[in-house]
Structure 1
Amino acid sequence: MTRPGSGLRPFSVKAKLGTLVVVSVFITTGLLMVAVRTRTELRFITVFSVIATLLITQFVAHGLTAPLDEMTTVARSISHGDYTRRVRADRRDELGDLAQTINLMADDLEAVDRHRKELVANVSHELRTPIAALRAVLENVVDGVSSADPETMRTALKQTERLGRLVETLLDLSRLDNGVVTLKARRFEVWPYLSGVLKEANLAASHRRLSSGSGNHTRKDVHLHLDVSPPELTAHADAERLHQVVANLIDNAVKHSPPHGRVTVLARRGAGPESLALEVLDEGPGIPESERHRVFERFNRGEVPSPHGPGSDGGTGLGLAIARWAVDLHGGRIGVAESARGCRIQVTLPGIPQPRG
């Protein structure tokens, strides 16, 4: 398709106006020649010429102003919050390009409005659940229904920590939108670094088990395995942001693992200097191919059933979105790869940027 302003096209507004001028000149010239040959008075020829020119001009002007009126109506509807209206874009001129642009703008605004409503609904739901549980615990203590024993306080602490995790993920989301995060890349050894991340994941699982009793989110049974080759592998990246990537991928894999399942983190040398190729594999139900393009969207929880049933804590749906954001900051890639069993997520980080020659 020809881009707007790329030149004179057969059906462009410029061509139509030029045709109007040429036709008007030909009509006037023809009438003058008729007047000379038939000895008709010049005033009659002038009147006929003006009338013919006005009729042609009115016809062309209507073809140009009618779509502008339609665009004005649609734009006014969009300004009032109605993003469902569209402009007919069947013209092959600059007005057709403008109509397509308005339709694309309406599509984007409609998507933004839908995401905003989903954001409010999801955040409200995520905040309401721990707040309601915390309020119930405190009301029972105040009313004397239960005592402020360590078990009750652990329950209240669990809900408070869940609120803290939600607020932290929302802050990360805000940093993502504002683009205020900068990378602090450095060289580090991969094995001890990832070993520490897995150790923290095990400690977090143990803490959740102790604070939640025998709840559905007890995942101490999942075994975490680290595979780094070669053992002396090094990488160049922002360690804090990479921690967000690996921790969120492990957390997501653990949640979807079957009882006594296995989550494997593989690290290999990438294509460039100090580059890194990571994989996180689990033994869960996997991700359907139709859902793979949506798993890194905000607040997307997917349609894969949890191994623990509908009562399990599925999280906020922000973890994978934050992982993609951190990978994008590095200029790397993240995606769901084919796997014979479970889910396999691949991450590649470019390492040290190469100077452009």
Structure 2
Amino acid sequence: MSKQQPKPRLDTVKRRVKPVDFFSSLKLELSALIVVATAIAFAMCWFLLKFGWSGWIAMPLTLIVALGITYFFSRGITAPLRQMRDVAEAMAEGDYTVRVDIDQDRHDEVGQLARSFNAMAGELEHADKMRLDMIANVSHELRTPVSALQAMVENMADGVTEPTPANLESILTQTQRLSDLIAFLLDLSRMEAGAASLNIEQFNFAEFLDETVEPLEIADGGHAHDIHLEVPGNIMVEGDQDRLRQLFTNIIANALKHSADGTTVLIEAHEETDYGTVVTNVVNFGSQIAPADRSNIFRRFVTGKAGPGTESGGTGLGLSIARWAAQLHGGTVRVVDDERGADFEIALPKYHISAS
């Protein structure tokens, strides 16, 4: 998209204390302005009449002065509104970096609106950046397995390689990567549409986690991770097993991805009877997540940084989908402090509660 000549940054204007900064309401500002303008006009009119000026001259001159005072001071009140107009025009042209310059000491409705506008602009800037990152990530994620599949199939078609079990296993692996990416994108579309049809049933939580972990252990391959389960066998939970399997698969797969080869991923669960919830902690030993990043990693298309000996890449959708699946069941997913490593805590009600 072509852009016009960039406007000066709106956040570079020198800040100064204005009279409107002392008021907490736009109504008070306008009332004070009217009172001041009226008082000045009355005093000026009295002064001119006292010194023998004609009323036909004094009155129009007084009105002009009153209008000038009102216009001068009203500019300070409406300045953020004009800036919001300019920022909106810039955003319509594709520039999401501009902001409304607003004094932090201004607490009236216009100041609150300007700060909310800046927050919205920040979210739009983030969404635009994530959209571009998503295009790049999805393109890369699609290109890699498709290129590998094309090369292997062409070699088999040309007789360069034989269709051995190992070669067919490689093709199956690349096909599974494509299938996972398509599933992520479908889940994302459900999130955007708010579609959430749940098949609620009661099931044994320990058995459910065993079934969830088994394919992850097989897919882990040569990374030699040890997935250690500490889950009581008598916990019963209500929920949609398919959606909850998405939740735990994505959280555990994320822990495996960011664990060095040969390390342990601990999954421990306990029941909090006072709150009627089941709390599960998935602990990735060794690595940590900075407190400032703990909420950001659940945003769509945000990919974590891989450490030494860990995998990188990904779509940046797994944790976002995990949180979505938890919220559908009235639960939560968050990162908690744990000296052992990155600890994802999943809290789910034992009995299904609609998230709506």
1:224 maps to 2:227: yes
1:58 maps to 2:61: no
- The answer on whether the counterparts of 2:155 and 2:161 sit within 8 Å (CA) in structure 1 is yes
Q: Which runs of 5+ in 1 are unaligned?
A: 1-8, 210-217
- The answer on whether the counterparts of 2:251 and 2:318 sit within 8 Å (CA) in structure 1 is yes
Secondary structure class of the residue paired with 1:269: strand
Residue 192 of structure 2 corresponds to 177
CA distance in 2, matches of 1:273, 1:35: 78
Secondary structure class of the residue paired with 2:298: coil
Structure 1 residues 96 and 233 mapped into 2: Cα distance closer, same or farther (>3 Å)? closer
Q: Which residue type is aligned with residue 316 of structure 1?
A: T
CA distance in 2, matches of 1:184, 1:126: 31
Alignment partner of 2:101 out of 88, 91, 96: 88
Shift of 1:62: 3.9
Secondary structure class of the residue paired with 1:49: helix
Residue 69 of structure 1 corresponds to 82
Q: How does 1:87-236 map to 2 (within 5 A)?
A: 87-90=100-103, 91-205=106-220, 209=221, 218-219=222-223, 221-229=224-232, 231-236=233-238
Residue 346 of structure 1 corresponds to 345
Q: Displaced runs of 4+ in structure 1, greater than 6 A?
A: none
CA distance in 2, matches of 1:296, 1:62: 42
% identical aligned pairs: 36
Residue 55 of structure 2 corresponds to 42
CA distance in 2, matches of 1:256, 1:42: 84
Q: Which residue type is aligned with residue 43 of structure 1?
A: W
Shift of 1:77: 0.8
Residue 280 of structure 2 corresponds to 278
Secondary structure class of the residue paired with 2:234: coil
Shift of 1:38: 5.4
Residue 288 of structure 2 corresponds to 287
Secondary structure class of the residue paired with 1:88: coil
Shift of 1:232: 2.1
Q: Which residue type is aligned with residue 56 of structure 2?
A: R
More displaced stretch, 32-41 vs 166-175: 32-41
TM-score by length of 2: 0.79
What is the number of equivalent residue pairs in this alignment? 330
Is the radius of gyration larger for structure 1 or structure 2?
Answer: 1
CA distance in 2, matches of 1:315, 1:67: 41
Residue 318 of structure 2 corresponds to 319
Q: Which runs of 5+ in 2 are unaligned?
A: 1-21
- The answer on whether the counterparts of 1:336 and 1:345 sit within 8 Å (CA) in structure 2 is yes
Shift of 1:122: 0.9
More displaced stretch, 115-124 vs 286-295: 286-295
**1:230-284 CA distances to partner (integer Å, 9 max, x unpaired)?**
x32222232222222222233233344444443332222123575312122344x
CA distance in 2, matches of 1:295, 1:28: 60
Secondary structure class of the residue paired with 2:231: strand
CA distance in 2, matches of 1:89, 1:152: 62
Shift of 1:178: 1.8
More displaced stretch, 77-86 vs 44-53: 44-53
Structure 1 residues 70 and 135 mapped into 2: Cα distance closer, same or farther (>3 Å)? same
Q: Which residue type is aligned with residue 350 of structure 2?
A: G
Secondary structure class of the residue paired with 1:252: helix
Secondary structure class of the residue paired with 2:195: coil
TM-score by length of 1: 0.78
Shift of 1:28: 5.3
CA distance in 1, matches of 2:258, 2:160: 37
